[in-house]
C-alpha cells in the first residue's frame, strides 16, 4: 500500500517538491546531504517517519545500544539550531507554506479519493519542512518503536 501511495504522491506533485528541496539543497550547499535526504523523503514520504536526533539518542541509551554519537556530534546540536533558524528565514517558511497550500488543494479535491492520502502526506511534511535539521528519517516501524519506547519510559511502564 505504501508503494501505491508513493507512486500516486510522486505523480501528483511529489516530483515538484523534490525539485524544490533539491534547489534549496544546492543553495545551502554546505548542508547538502541532510537536505537531499529531506528531498528524497518528500518524493517518497509513505512508509517513513521522522524522529529527532535527541529521541534516537535517548532510545539508544535506554535500550543500551551502542551509540554512534561522538563528543563532536553532541556539540553540533547548537549548530543544528542555528541552521534551523537560517533555514526558517530563507526556505523553511516557503516550503512549509507550499505543503500547506498543496494539502488545501488536495482537500478541495477530496471527492477524488486518490487525493486523500496526499493531504496526510503534506501535513506530515510541514514540520520537517519548517525545521529540518536535527531530524532523522527512519522507516515507519522504527519511528513507532522509538516513540512507543520513549512514551513507556516517560510513564514508567
Give the pLDDT confidence score for residue 148 in this predicted structure. Answer: 94
pLDDT band at 75 (very low <50, low <70, confident <90, very high): low
Average pLDDT over residues 30-45: 87
Cα–Cα distance for residue pair 155/145, rounded to 1 Å = 15
More confident of the two residues 69 and 11: 11
Where in the sequence is the domain holding 147, given as residue range(s)? 2-155
Determine the angle formed by the axes of helices 2-9 and 116-130, rounding to 10 degrees. Answer: 80
Q: Total domain count for the chain?
A: 1
This prediction has a pTM of: 0.81
Give the pLDDT confidence score for residue 73 in this predicted structure. Answer: 59
Task: Note whether 134 and 77 are within 8 A (CB).
Answer: yes
Amino acid at each position: 500500500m505504501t508503494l501505491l501511495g508513493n507512486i500516486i504522491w510522486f505523480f501528483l506533485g511529489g516530483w515538484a517538491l523534490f525539485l524544490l528541496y533539491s534547489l534549496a539543497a544546492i543553495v545551502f550547499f554546505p548542508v547538502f546531504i541532510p537536505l537531499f535526504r529531506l528531498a528524497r523523503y518528500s518524493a517518497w514520504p509513505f512508509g517513513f517517519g521522522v524522529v529527532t536526533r535527541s529521541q534516537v539518542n535517548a532510545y539508544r541509551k535506554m535500550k543500551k545500544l551502542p551509540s554512534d554519537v561522538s563528543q563532536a556530534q553532541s556539540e553540533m546540536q547548537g549548530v543544528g539550531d542555528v541552521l534551523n533558524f537560517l533555514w526558517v528565514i530563507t526556505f523553511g517558511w516557503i516550503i512549509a507554506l507550499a505543503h500547506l497550500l498543496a494539502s488545501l488543494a488536495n482537500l478541495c479535491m477530496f471527492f477524488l479519493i486518490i487525493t486523500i492520502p496526499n493531504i496526510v502526506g503534506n501535513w506530515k511534511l510541514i514540520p520537517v519542512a519548517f525545521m529540518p535539521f536535527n531530524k532523522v528519517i527512519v522507516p515507519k516501524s522504527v519511528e513507532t518503536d522509538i516513540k512507543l519506547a520513549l512514551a513507556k519510559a516517560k510513564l514508567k511502564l
